[in-house]
Amino acid sequence: MTWDWSAVDAFMPKFWDGLLVTLQAVVLGSLIAFTLGLVWAMAQRSSLKAVRWPVNIVTEFIRNTPLLVQLFFFYYVLPEWDITFSALTTGVVALGLHYSTYTAEVYRAGIEGVPVGQWEAATALSLPRGRTWGAVILPQAIRRVVPALGNYVIAMLKDSPMIATIGVLEMLGEARQFGAQTFVMTEPITIVGIAFILIAYPASLLTRALERRLVR
């Protein structure tokens, strides 16, 4: 087997297109996961059972359902109810919603890790509930969980090829399509594998460095 540089040259324009789609899916999916996860975590601590119980049921259902099933549900089932999105939007929403249930647990752990004395001090100062959360609890909780959130971004990156199943041509999707058209698989698949390493490994090092910094 020989390495064909002409195949690499032919594949690279498609690779850059796929890379852009991958980064869009991961960045936008992460924003949804981080934002919605915080909403889930705060709702789970609500004193109202009418809020707490439905949220617990929904998050448990999503967390225990395969991402692939959720992608197919959003892309193939929702249109039967006249709810239609583009393939990329569907992929982004599915990734973000799926991972929001995991980030919710991370946020919950961070909130529960805030010393009880902080809650008591806020109560003693008669701080409104909103200010207690925004100025006292969340800044401390989020600071504790940033490294864990970074790990979920990396996990989302590695799961991003799943969106190719609904027609979104991210890096691996572009490589598979190129291979199907040219019958050349070694070069495109190898390039995509290296790209995942070059993105994920520095991100992993950054997460570890951030964790060490926050611990200090």
Distance separating alpha carbons of residues 125 and 171, to the nearest angstrom: 53
Nearest to 161 by CA among 89, 67, 36: 67
What are the DSSP calls for 64-95, one per residue? Answer: TS-HHHHHHIIIIIGGGGT----HHHHHHHHH
CATH number at residue 42: 1.10.3720.10
The percentage of residues in the chain with a pLDDT greater than 90, rounded to a whole number, is 62
Would residue 103 count as lying in a domain? Answer: yes
Would residue 190 count as lying in a domain? Answer: no
- Low-confidence residues of the chain, pLDDT below 70? 1, 214-216
Would residue 186 count as lying in a domain? Answer: no
> Residue 18: its pLDDT value, please?
95
Would residue 7 count as lying in a domain? Answer: no
Q: Count the domains in the chain.
A: 1
Would residue 125 count as lying in a domain? Answer: yes
The percentage of residues in the chain with a pLDDT greater than 70, rounded to a whole number, is 98
Would residue 69 count as lying in a domain? Answer: yes
pLDDT in tens, 19-37: 999 999 999 999 999 999 9
pTM, whole model, 2 decimals? Answer: 0.88
pLDDT in tens, 62-87: 999 999 999 999 999 999 999 989 99
Would residue 34 count as lying in a domain? Answer: yes
Domain that holds residue 79: 17-170
> Residue 94: its pLDDT value, please?
96
> Residue 144: its pLDDT value, please?
80
Would residue 84 count as lying in a domain? Answer: yes
